[in-house]
Structure 1
């Protein structure tokens, strides 16, 4: 590796090393949150919010199931981040912290859905592959928004490893 490339990579690598544990816990909670979201969604769709044949093709209960699943996964993620990822980094009362957590998630959802809307409606990329690709990129961007939003607003000081943790 050339000295100039090594110098260019030194700062980002130091940033990652200083936050490796937090980043790993953040990722684990994120994956678990996806499992919770999909689990609740499918449990609702296979149970009380399953298809209603009496309304034909106008069944909006799938949207209701998705909203409930998303709210449950956000609450799960807040508890997990609060008690594990950013343990000891609390600076707010729980109600304030949950409100900030929700606000950061709202911004991330706008980023994720906005990218899908832009590519699907703005660019006319309407294939299933294009929608899934933009959704995955949106999830990545939303994850970056969440990490920085959580470390700056919700759990200040939570970006670096706490030596006492």
Structure 2
């Protein structure tokens, strides 16, 4: 598989996990705001953690399951993952803030385009980069003995 194909496959897995994480975040928020009648900021903080937990588990078991963990320790790795996701969320909020407060665009349509459209694209780029470089390293797990994948260079002393 070529490098661009591998990157597209990785991003597709990342995006699929993101759909489930978004559903967990939204579902948790709606439940906490509705039947649980929780204050919005607390509900959002808890729903963010629920979404981050689903995203972390999905990425660790999905597209990044064969990669080494760059950060040692499960809880520390999860904390870095949460920080990466918070940075992506900050980018989304920043796009909304620029649109509303610097450009003066205050319509619902402008909020949607800046926060959900532009903000989501840029925030997702930050999350994707952070997940693949800060949480999971670029090196893949060692190839099992006797297995040689297509395109992998031969190591000195390795049988053909």
Query: Which residue matches 1:34?
Result: 22
Pick the aligned partner of 1:99 from 64, 73, 79. Answer: 79
Pick the aligned partner of 1:144 from 125, 141, 158. Answer: 125
Question: Which structure is higher in RCO with an 8 Å CA cutoff and minimum separation 6?
Answer: 1
Q: CA 1:44 to 1:62, structure 2 compared with 1: closer, same or farther past 3 Å?
A: same
Query: Which residue matches 2:51?
Result: 73
Find out whether 1:25 has 2:39 as its counterpart: no
More strand by percentage: 2
- Measure how far apart 1:90 and its partner are: 3.2
User: What CA deviation, in whole Å up to 9, does each residue of 1:21-42 have, x standing for no partner?
Assistant: 2111101011111111111111
Pick the aligned partner of 1:49 from 28, 37, 54. Answer: 37
Find out whether 1:114 has 2:102 as its counterpart: no
RMSD: 1.9
TM-score normalised by L of structure 1: 0.76
In 1, Cα distance between equivalents of 2:138 and 2:83: 18
Q: State how many pairs are aligned.
A: 138
Query: Which residue matches 2:40?
Result: 62
Structure 2 residues without counterparts, runs of 5 or longer: 144-148, 150-160
| Equivalent pair of 1:86/1:158 in contact (CA under 8 Å) | no
User: What CA deviation, in whole Å up to 9, does each residue of 1:13-60 have, x standing for no partner?
Assistant: x5431223211110101111111111111111221126xxxxxxxxxx
User: What CA deviation, in whole Å up to 9, does each residue of 1:52-100 have, x standing for no partner?
Assistant: xxxxxxxxx1222122111110111111111112002132321221121
